[in-house]
Amino acid sequence: MAKSVAVRENARQTRPALWLRKHWFWLGVNLAAAFPLVQLAWDFWREALSVNPIDDITDRTGKAAIMLLFFSLACTPANTIFGVRQAVTVRKALGMWAFVYASVHLLNFVGYDYGFDLRFILEDGLPTKPYILVGLLAFLVLVPLAITSTKGWQKRLGQRWKQLHKLVYVAGVAAVLHFFWLAKAAEDWEPALYAVVLSLLLAVRIPAVRRRLVSMRTQRQGKQQSHGDGTKRTATRNPALKSTRP
């Protein structure tokens, strides 16, 4: 009896360690994704934002949203082209974090900047800040993607789920255009960098490009495997060489 209790207690103690060993990458990515939001909340609470807190919040949340969206878009090619299987496990989490930051970004504009005054937004915000419409498009595209990101919705929608979630590319393009327009790209290199990154992420999804990259990875792995097998055979034939290996 005592032995069975000890076994159960030992299993209970090792369960968190096993979970951590299996999900360490997922946990690390989520902690990293949450860090800018936690830091923003801490700075807001300490009143340590810049002299223009609205612009500070807008800048931080906007950049975090677009970067996390790009990271989520990079997960599939990282797996299929470069063989980074762990990337697939964080794709959904990165997309959800992008939506969280986009929501805070929009809430900052509507609530903190314009006090939830829709009339003021329509009369002042849109005429003076037309890039808002493109940003709003990106957000509205992300809404159904966030809602249907669960396995339950994936089963309900079937093949339509994949078609729906291809709209994430539209959100990415709209987000880059929003940033281009907002930052006046001619005066800032950062929007151009985001545009280049998005172009590369879209390019690797072209079937011909994807097949070529996968073929190159397969050939490289084949050469590495052949070289490893040749080294093992040489060591087997030459005991002296084998003994010098660590």
**Model confidence pLDDT, tens digit, residues 220-245:** 766 666 655 555 555 555 544 344 44
Q: Please write the tens of the pLDDT for every residue from 28-67.
A: 999 999 999 999 999 999 988 988 999 999 999 999 999 9
What is the pTM for the complete model shown?
A: 0.82
b/e per residue, 55-67, with b = 16+ CB within 10 A?
ebbbebbbbbbbb
Residue 127 has pLDDT above 90, yes or no: no
5 vs 203, residue with greater confidence: 203
- CB-based contact 51:45 (threshold 8 Å): no
pLDDT confidence of 209, banded at 50, 70, 90? confident
What does the alpha-carbon distance between residue 72 and residue 192 come to, in Å, rounded to a whole number? 20
**Residue (of 117, 105, 26, 22) closest to 62 by Cα position:** 105
Q: Which amino acid is at 143?
A: V
What does the alpha-carbon distance between residue 202 and residue 205 come to, in Å, rounded to a whole number? 5
pLDDT confidence of 101, banded at 50, 70, 90? very high
**Residue (of 110, 4, 125, 105) closest to 59 by Cα position:** 105
Q: How many residues does the chain have?
A: 246
- CB-based contact 62:176 (threshold 8 Å): no
45 vs 188, residue with greater confidence: 45
| Residue in the block written with tokens 């990337």 | 87
**Residue (of 174, 212, 219, 176) closest to 195 by Cα position:** 176
- CB-side exposure of 160: number of CA atoms within 13 Å? 6
Residue 5 has pLDDT above 50, yes or no: no
